[in-house]
């Protein structure tokens, strides 16, 4: 560079016997045209201090409100934060005072939110449950659920079909055994990102279930019934056991 005879990372101190110990002194001597030359002892100094560079947020927030069909907040139930595949890792937020739930900061990405009210409340079809969400950096994600209060008129058990598992909600293990008494309405829901089936047992075959589709079977026979997904049989296998009590 004309006007600045430098070696890498070191100033040529032969000019007027001057020893430049700072960027400011160098610019005063040689001018702004030499500003692109590294004068610090290490080349890393040219890049500036990365520790002070602003970093984009890597999380967003997830919260919402539970209310009944009249719009009144209901402090009942629990919200589960599922993976995008539908897998439940037992990450939840209990519904608190005023019917609100709040997961706080959640890493950026795609998820699902599932409402569970035990035998106290439920989200009735055709309202979606779970709800698919995208958490964006530095942004709030707000999801509200409308619930019907009271226990169902019949015994029901929900089994989520995900990628690649069957999982009893909300406490079951992926591809485990679900035990229900005879007379239970078993409801399989496809919460995954691709079609699946429920194949086996006395019900035979559900046929292809699209995303968000479901299959129902009234458990009227006692026994242990292995079943699988006909598309992903080696990865998706579970057992439904029906008892007399």
Write the DSSP string, 34-73: GTTS--SSSGGGGG--GGGS-----EEEEEEEEE-TTS-B
pLDDT tens for each residue of 147-175: 999 988 789 999 999 999 999 999 999 99
Tell which wins on pLDDT, 199 or 56: 199
Among the CATH numbers 2.60.40.420, 3.30.70.120, 3.30.470.10, 3.90.1640.10, which is that of 156-243? 2.60.40.420
Residue 146 above 50 pLDDT? yes
136 Cβ contact list (under 8 Å, min separation 6): 60, 108
Distance CA 129, CA 175 (A): 21
Pairwise CA distance, residues 220 & 186, whole Å: 10
Contact yes or no for 83/112 (Cβ under 8 A): yes
Q: What's the predicted TM-score (pTM) here?
A: 0.77
CB atoms within 10 A of CB 29: 15
Rounded distance between C-alpha atoms, residue 45 and residue 61, angstroms = 37
Q: Provide the pLDDT confidence category of residue 63 given band limits of 50, 70 and 90.
A: very high
| pLDDT at residue 53, rounded to an integer | 75
**Averaged pLDDT, 15-32:** 46
pLDDT in tens, 91-102: 999 999 999 999
Separation between Cα atoms, residue 100 and residue 65, nearest integer Å: 5
Residues forming CATH 2.60.40.10 domain(s) in the chain? 59-149
Give 120 or 43, the one with higher predicted confidence: 120
State residue 161's pLDDT score: 98
Q: How confident is the model at residue 18 (pLDDT cuts 50, 70, 90)?
A: very low
| 3-state helix vs strand vs coil in the chain, percent to 5 | 10, 40, 50
Tokens linked to 156: 């029901």
Interacting residues of 162 by C-beta distance below 8 A, sequence separation 6+: 83, 85, 86, 87, 174, 191, 192
What pLDDT, on a 0 to 100 scale, did the predictor assign at position 46? Answer: 41
Coil vs helix vs strand at 244: coil
Q: Is the pLDDT of residue 27 over 90?
A: no
Share of the chain above pLDDT 70, in %: 79
Predicted confidence (pLDDT) at residue 50 exceeds the cutoff of 90: no
- Residue that has been written with the tokens 């990372």 in this structure: 9
Confidence of residue 49 (pLDDT cuts 50, 70, 90): low
DSSP, collapsed to helix, strand or coil, labels residue 75 as: coil
Characterize 149-185 residue by residue with b for buried, 16 or more Cβ atoms within 10 angstroms of its Cβ, and e for exposed. eeeeeeeebbbbbbbbbbbbbbebebeeebebeeebe
The CATH number assigned to the domain with range 59-149 reads: 2.60.40.10
Task: Decide if pLDDT at 8 tops 60.
Answer: no
pLDDT (tens digit per residue) in 202-220: 999 999 999 999 999 999 9
Q: Residue 214: CB partners within 8 Å, gap ≥ 6?
A: 187, 188, 189, 190
pLDDT for the residue numbered 41: 40
Locate CATH 2.60.40.420 in the chain: 156-243
Q: What is the pLDDT of residue 29?
A: 52
Nearest C-alpha neighbor of 139 from the set 222, 86, 62: 62
Higher model confidence: residue 204 or residue 52? Answer: 204
> Residues 137-143: what's their mean pLDDT?
97
Give me the chain's average pLDDT, please.
85
pLDDT at 33 over 50: no
Instruction: Give the count of beta carbons closer than 10 Å to the beta carbon of residue 119.
Output: 10
């Amino acid at each position: 560079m004309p006007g600045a005879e430098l070696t890498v990372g070191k100033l040529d101190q032969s000019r007027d016997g001057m020893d430049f110990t700072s960027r400011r002194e160098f610019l005063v001597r040689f001018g702004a045209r030499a500003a692109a030359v590294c004068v610090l002892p290490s080349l890393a100094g040219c890049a500036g201090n990365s520790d002070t560079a602003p970093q984009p947020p890597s999380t967003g927030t997830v919260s919402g409100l539970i209310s009944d069909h009249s719009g009144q907040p209901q402090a009942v139930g629990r919200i589960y934060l599922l993976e995008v595949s539908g897998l439940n890792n037992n990450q939840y937020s209990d519904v608190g005072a005023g019917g609100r739930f709040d997961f706080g900061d959640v890493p950026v990405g795609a998820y699902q939110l599932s409402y569970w009210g035990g035998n106290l409340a439920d989200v009735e079809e055709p309202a979606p449950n779970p709800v698919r969400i995208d958490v964006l950096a530095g942004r709030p994600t707000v999801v509200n659920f409308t619930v019907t209060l009271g226990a169902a008129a019949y015994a029901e058990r929900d089994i989520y079909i995900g990628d690649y598992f069957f999982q009893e909600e909300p406490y079951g293990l992926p591809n485990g055994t679900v035990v229900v008494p005879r007379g239970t309405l078993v409801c399989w829901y496809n919460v995954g990102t691709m079609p699946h089936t429920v194949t086996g047992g006395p019900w035979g075959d559900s046929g292809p279930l699209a995303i968000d589709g479901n299959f129902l079977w009234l458990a009227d026979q006692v026994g242990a019934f292995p079943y699988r997904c006909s598309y992903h049989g080696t990865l998706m296998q579970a057992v439904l056991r029906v008892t007399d009590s």
